[in-house]
Amino acid sequence: MNKVKELFTGKAKTIYSTDDQDKLIMLFRNDTSAFDGEKIEQFDRKGMINNHFTAFIMDKLAAAGVPTHHEKIINDQESLVKCLDMLPIECVVRNIATGSLVKRLGVEDGLELNPATFEFFLKNDELHDPMINDYHIISFNWATQDEIEKMKALTFEVNTILKQLFLDAGMLLVDYKLEFGRFKGELYLGDEFTPDGCRLWDIDTRKKLDKDRFRQGLGGVVEAYEEVAHRLGVELG
């Protein structure tokens, strides 16, 4: 499958069309960004790690019955995916309170949430991805009621699968963000699942093993991503 045209360049990935109109190539670059693109840095090997990481997680999810866009890895930094019509929505599940939730609600950082909580955000950098609710999504026609229900159900299903997967590898899945899109009338999980879009803490030390290392200038960003991959048994290039 060949790249035909660059369609979209995001903060960490570039999307290309292919000879097949139903398929795209997703290139994971070494760029890492935070604070809506205000802080950007390149990290050697990060694109490769995130590509293999996403493929590993998407395969696990697909095996458990979650429909995903992932088709196959093409090379270390590129994967072939279904061409989804992406919804402009981010779905976040939180098992432990931290990050924007703590700032917004003034709750204790590190508080375990039982049951886990769910939030929708609008994907819009200029507006700093504001939080939205089901009514906004319907009124502005960003998705249907059926899609809202499916996004919630699938995002929680992913939580059940991945919480255990990370726990078995000695990590707490603190929170994560998912994005969905339409393909031939059905909803599929798109985008990526990497330590860029989730929070992972070591179960014993609570050491941060995700993009918070970059956001907070803690150093050892790629080393942490590599450690997570290693603990899960993800084969890297």
> Considering the complex, what minimum distance in angstroms separates the CB of residue 192 from ligand C5P?
9
Tokens (6 digits) for 175 = 């929170």
Nearer to ligand C5P, 190 or 197 (CB): 197
Give dist(CA 171, CA 207) in Å, integer: 9
Nearer to ligand C5P, 210 or 226 (CB): 210
Give dist(CA 237, CA 229) in Å, integer: 12
Reported as type and span, the H/E element at residue 77 is: none
Nearer to ligand C5P, 18 or 143 (CB): 143
> Considering the complex, what minimum distance in angstroms separates the CB of residue 50 from ligand C5P?
12
- In the complex, the residues that contact ligand C5P under the rule CB under 6 A are 90, 92, 99-101, 129, 175-177, 197-199, 211
Nearer to ligand C5P, 108 or 235 (CB): 108
Are the C-beta atoms of 6 and 16 separated by less than 8 Å? Answer: yes
Residue nearest to ligand C5P (CB): 99
> Considering the complex, what minimum distance in angstroms separates the CB of residue 81 from ligand C5P?
18
> Considering the complex, what minimum distance in angstroms separates the CB of residue 198 from ligand C5P?
5
Nearer to ligand C5P, 122 or 236 (CB): 122
Strand order in the sheet with 85-86: 85-86, 180-183, 186-189
Q: What is the chain's Cα-based Rg? A: 17
Using alpha carbons, select from 233, 92, 106, 84 the residue that is nearest to residue 168: 233
The CA–CA distances, whole Å, from 111 to 82, 96, 116, 162 equal 37, 6, 11, 19
> Considering the complex, what minimum distance in angstroms separates the CB of residue 2 from ligand C5P?
30
